[in-house]
Amino acid sequence: MTVITGGGLKEVSGIEQENLLQFAVENGMIDLSTIQAEAEIMERKKLLGLHTTKIWQGKNGKWYTYLDNKLIKRNTKKDLEDVIADHYRTIVETPTFGCMFREWVEKKFEYGEIQRQTYDNYIVEYQSLIEGSSLDCLKLNELTEPKLEDFIKTTIREKSLTAKRWGNMRILISGTVKYAKKHGYTDISMRVFLDELSLSKNMFKSRPKVDAEQVFTREEEQKVKDYIWAREPSLVELGVLLGIETGMRRGEIAALMPGDIKGDILHVARTEIKYKDENGKTAYGIRESTKGREGERDIILTEMAKVILSKAMAFNPSGKFIFEKNDTFIKGHSFTKRIQDICKAVGIRPRAMHKLRKTYATNLLNAGVDDKLVEKQMGHTEILTTKQFYYFNNKTLEESKKIIQTALA
């Protein structure tokens, strides 16, 4: 900004501009009410300029125009222009679906409804499934159920979504629309919409789960154990062994502290999380809670599990974490990498740490362990979850044949 001073023209900074404006207002040199009125006139003129449909006066003296293909009538031209201006002001001020999603997810994180890792997952899924689409850019006052249904079905087909991936997208869409409705931007009820949404199972890409990919057979499990115990196990290998003996998630193993051991009981109370830091880089931390409502639990330790924990603590007698290196916890992906390397070394199909968790659940169920005890050990709210997603056939072909032969004899 340039002002005239006693010495001629002078450039002034933003702060000086504010000081000059305040001085001018306080000394009656500027009337703010006049400026505000002029600004409103300019805004009204701009909004009316968005209306390209004809305005006319009828023989009855009334004024008419069309808004969204609807005939609008008012007694005076000013009254009609007020309706037009309000209409376009609503359009201009209404946020897009994408803006509303970001506000919704930011608020959920701010209120502690979701953790940083979940927040990052929501952002990544939105970028993959919705960002840049017709829905992302759509003004919320233009959102209709047919448009929403068309977007969902088109995305499922074009992106070959699995039922699980559709579930992820449903969370993002449902949360955003519910938030928008709460703030008066839409009247769509997601509960009603989802109840009436007809999605055939044939729409989703399916990949049958192969038992051999999901769990280890007893023979394979023994090969892994023998390989590790053939020499003094490393700290990471002890973490792998603990996964076999307890069915713990790799993030829970990473977050274990010495105080979590209570004799024959191991208290699982926290887990590792992965998130994006302020620079957008991947970072890791420990969350003082576990996955799921029943995630915090007491696991009954086998004698072997107690030996494993004792050996692990010997690596860092005064460490904060049981599985610790260079004064920080060992990341969960280190355990997965090690079990995969071991699988290759012993000549079996490489699988991740989570497959050890599924193997643990399968072994308990095969052994006839009480359902409630299995629930507790796994940290599940109901046994149906364990049986549906963690229970697979881990018997060899020969073992299966003997079982079938015995059953039919």
State the 10-residue block means of pLDDT for the chain, 409 residues long: 47 57 68 75 83 90 88 93 82 84 94 89 94 93 94 95 93 96 93 94 83 92 97 97 97 97 96 87 91 87 97 95 96 97 96 96 95 95 91 87 84
Do 281 and 222 touch, CB atoms closer than 8 A? no
Please state the domain extents for the chain.
Answer: 97-203, 211-407
For the entire predicted model, the pTM comes to: 0.67
Please report how many Cα atoms fall inside a 13 Å half-sphere around the Cα of residue 43, on the Cβ side: 14
CATH code for the domain defined by 211-407:
1.10.443.10
- Residue 97 and residue 141: Cα distance in Å, rounded? 10
- Residue 259 and residue 241: Cα distance in Å, rounded? 20
CATH code for the domain defined by 97-203:
1.10.150
- Residue 23 and residue 17: Cα distance in Å, rounded? 10
- Residue 386 and residue 361: Cα distance in Å, rounded? 7
Residue 383: strand, helix, or coil: helix
CA angle 60, 66, 71 (to 5 degrees): 55
pLDDT at position 168: 95
- Residue 255 and residue 285: Cα distance in Å, rounded? 9
Tell me what percent of the chain is helix, strand and coil, each rounded to the nearest 5: 55, 10, 30
Residue 65: strand, helix, or coil: strand
